[in-house]
Structure 1
Amino acid sequence: MMLLRAVLFFILTAATCAAASLSPPAGFMQPPEQKASGDKTVKCPNVPAPFTGVLDFPSKYAGSDSARATLNPQADAAFHQQTLPITDMERYISRQVTAWAHSGNAQYVACTVAALDQWASAGALTERANNHTGRSMRKWALATFSSAWLQLEYAPQHPLNAYPAQQQNIQRWLGRLGDLTVKEWHDLPLERVNNHSYWAAWAIIATAVVTQRQDLFTAALDIYRTAMQQVDDEGFLPNELRRRQRALSYHNYALQPLVMIALFARANGIDALAENHGALKRLGVRVIGGLDDASAFTQRTGVAQDRAFLQHPTNLAWLDAWCSLYVCDSALKQRLASLRPWQNTRLGGDLSRLAGVARVE
């Protein structure tokens, strides 16, 4: 049944998309701001060394029970130390592209291209992934790189035209990472489909637009559709409820890439909001309600919720994208306005800038 559903969805999606090339949402196609400092000399920071080793990292929840909700401080420290070259590169690329978007200075484009070309030429992140954490790092990095690259690729000034060889090299490498991500996260058993799969789908759909590959686009939408089918009538994701005291946190985390996928689907003529009778809206309303009152999550899990994630604004950056999909009430709009700009490296950087598109009911 799952195979038949996937085949039918592939056919319908291919028919919808066949008539036109893939496009990002309008926010990803904006020109950069032109500021007086736009011509200042920029020295590119040192590029983190390409990570070419096997993707084999400890989980920060090592030793935890099946809920995977108790942080292991020693394992967490080891995870951050071993993955530092990758996360440093994510920050490097996001900061360069954001700086370009806010200044119009083409030297930030040069820094971005040189850095990604170096990693692409080295075949970074293409080795085998020995464990779940290794696979996770690959798709998170791909989400960062592709969502940042799109902003250069689709800018009206076409800044990448100055780098044809590097552009081809980088986009070929991103496509290769996209293939690996599909292989690792597509068609998993339902009990294993959770927030990680949704982040993989976000990385894949952004890469699909970068590379103009319908097969990647379809694979991402297939994972999205599976996610929507998992949302119950009350707006909960059963596989995230398993995280017990972190259930609210992981519902919030799962929602971030799903909102971005819906934006990309809409930009390509697909109504992702209709899936499973408006499942995305049920999920979002449930999470938004939980930001101030987590009692519904406490009741479903039987434990008080850990709300520490609210201390990090990057975890709520998706709300600006949410309010470009749905009409948000004045209270939420005021909450957003007071903390703008909203930043999330793996969702494209400055979400306040990228998500400023037309609203729908």
Structure 2
Amino acid sequence: MHNPILKNLLAPTLLCSSFLGLAMFAGATQAAAPLRPPQGYYAPIEKVKTGDGNDGCDAMPKPYTGALQFRSKYEGSDKARATLNAESEKAFRDSTADITRLERGTSKRVMQFMRDGRPAQLECTLNWLTAWAQADALMSRDFNHTGKSMRKWALGSMASAYIRLKFSDSHPLAAHQQQAQLIEGWFSKMADQVVSDWDNLPLEQTNNHSYWAAWSVMATSIATNRRDLFDWAVKEYRIGASQVDADGYLPNELKRQQRALAYHNYALPPLAMIASFAQVNGVDLRQENNGALKRLGDRVLAGVKEPGAFEKKNGKEQDMTDLKEDMKFAWLEPFCTLYTCSPEVLAKKHAMQPFKTFRLGGDLTRVYDPANEKGNKGS
């Protein structure tokens, strides 16, 4: 610019434009900040052992590429879907055995690898996941309700275990980038299908299954750094939170008659995990619907102590079988980082630790409360 008068006249405009450009760039940079998990997922490998010991790789479960048409364990039950059918449950377990082996095996070996760093455990896990990814497993569009449920459970199990590897400060995937790319591509494609399976359901059909679908998509969003998946999971969380009534009940879980309390408890793990992951990425969901998650958690804990409130609510004596398993309360780990838990609840949590559940990616106590990790309970 050679005209000094024109240059002086335009200087403020140019300066404003420069600041505006910088502000827009900063805003874009902030918006594009990589998605990340809670801090505990960055934990390094505890100790590195080079020998394989007795931890050789088991035979890989056969990649499941067939139709996702499975019998329900509640087959023949009325609309409450609360009475187990032993025959159909066995048929379900048998037909999904390879999928469950992949879920459990992935979680177990990732936990073992994060403890002792044996290369065989990492290679086994990645080889299994790579083979299933290459086979395009679990992607069938021929599915029933139980089949699409199995797909989202499996995705949540695998993706939430995988992020332990992806984000660890030990960087175990650094030498396995090609496999990581294949696995993450498969997770990403499966998450798109899960969104298609569970999106925009009528409220009367939106229950714990939708929350678990949202959890699988949230875990995948972190593993693949996809903001669209993150946003969908948050949207589904908000729908779930909106269903919690003023007394902490979920109307669609109350329909489960004698299993209503158990299903209220079962709704909590995915919701608590989504809220925990959202918070670390700048989205605070704790006060959605006037603290719905806290209200639901408190209602369940009160119900475990005195299930009569649920019986009074829906007229059915509650089946407490599932609620005798410590790992069913794994949601307490993220929950007690989101909210201030009472000394009584913390004592209950500590008595049940460590919480190990493959559907949430393994050892949640090591992630959320490592100072109190002990023993080898859980699955």
Query: Structures share a fold, TM > 0.5?
Result: yes
Partner of 1:140: 153
One-letter amino acid of the counterpart of residue 155, structure 1: S
CA distance in 1, matches of 2:124, 2:201: 38
The partner residue of 1:222 within 235, 238, 242 is 235
- SS state of the match for residue 306, structure 1? coil
For structure 1, the residue ranges without an aligned partner over 5 or more in a row are 1-13
For the pair 1:167 / 2:180, whether they are aligned, the reply is yes
Q: Residue in 2 aligned with 1:122?
A: 135
Please give the alpha-carbon distance, in whole angstroms, between the structure 1 residues aligned to 2:123 and 2:137.
20
Separation in 2, partners of 1:136, 1:129: 13
Contact preservation (8 Å) 1:324, 1:357: no
The answer to whether 1:349 aligns with 2:362 is yes
- Residues of 2 paired with 1:97 and 1:206: CA distance? 15
Map of 1:46 onto structure 2: 59
Q: Over alpha carbons, which structure has the higher Rg?
A: 2
1:4 aligns with: none
SS of the residue corresponding to residue 289 of structure 2 reads helix
Where does residue 320 of structure 2 map in the other structure? 307
CA contact (8 A) 1:47 1:92 kept: no
- 1:82-121 paired onto structure 2 within 5 Å: 82-121=95-134
Could you tell me the TM-score, scaled by structure 2's length? 0.88
Question: CA separation in 2, counterparts of 1:129 and 1:294?
Answer: 40
Write out aligned runs for 1:281-292 (5 A).
281-292=294-305
By how many angstroms is 1:94 displaced? 0.5
Scaled by the length of structure 1, the TM-score of the pair is 0.92
Counterpart-to-counterpart distance in 1, 2:186 and 2:40: 24
Number of aligned residue pairs: give it: 343
Which residue of structure 2 lines up, in the alignment, with residue 239 of structure 1? 252
Q: Structure 2 matches for 1:330-341, cutoff 5 A?
A: 330-341=343-354
Answer yes or no: is 1:201 the counterpart of 2:214.
yes
The Cα offsets for residues 245-294 of structure 1, whole Å up to 9 and x where unpaired, read as 10000000011100000000001011110111111110110011111111
Distance 2:30 2:322 in 1: 37
Instruction: Give the distance between the partners of 2:365 and 2:279, measured in 1 at CA.
Output: 18
Does 2:289 align with 1:276?
yes
Aligned to 1:321: 334
Query: Is 1:29 matched up with 2:42?
Result: yes
Residues 91-146 of structure 1, C-alpha deviation per residue, up to 9 Å, x if partnerless?
11001001012223233211111110010011110112421000000000000010
Alpha-carbon distance in 1 for matches of 2:369, 2:234: 23
What are the ranges of 5 or more consecutive residues in structure 2 without an aligned counterpart?
Answer: 1-26, 372-379
Percent identity of equivalent pairs: 47
**Deviation digits for residues 26-77 of structure 1 (CA, Å, limit 9, x no counterpart):** 1112112116xx3331411111110010100000001101100011111111
Residues 1:310 and 1:208: Cα distance change in structure 2 (over 3 Å): same
| Residue 314 of structure 1, CA deviation | 2.1
CA contact under 8 A between 1:16 and 1:270: conserved in structure 2? no
Q: Secondary structure at the match of 2:269?
A: helix
Task: Report the counterpart of residue 68 of structure 1 in structure 2.
Answer: 81
Q: Which has the higher contact order (CA 8 A, sep 6+)?
A: 1
Give the deviation of 1:202 after TM superposition.
0.2
SS in 2 for 1:57: coil
Q: Deviations over 1:153-185 (max 9, x none)?
A: 001121111111111100000001100000001
C-alpha offsets along residues 170-219 of structure 1, whole Å, 9 cap, x if unaligned?
Answer: 00000011000000011111111000000000000000111111111111
Other structure's SS at 1:157 match: coil
Residue range with higher mean Cα deviation, 244-253 or 26-35:
26-35
Write the distance in 1 (CA, Å) between the matches of 2:243 and 2:164.
32
Are the aligned partners of 1:324 and 1:356 in contact in 2 as well (CA < 8 Å)?
A: no
Q: Does the 8 A contact of 1:320 with 1:351 survive in 2?
A: yes
Structure 1 residues 168, 30: closer, same or farther in 2, change over 3 A? same
The 8 Å contact of residues 17 and 268 in structure 1, kept in 2 or not, is answered as: no
State the one-letter code of the partner of 1:197. S
Q: Quote the residue 2:20 is aligned against.
A: none
Report if the CA contact (8 A) 1:153-1:159 is conserved: yes
Q: Distance in 1 between matches of 2:340 and 2:289?
A: 20
Structure 1 residue matching 2:288: 3-state secondary structure: helix
Write the distance in 2 (CA, Å) between the matches of 1:298 and 1:139.
31
What CA distance in whole angstroms lies between the structure 2 residues aligned with 1:278 and 1:15? Answer: 31
RMSD: 1.7
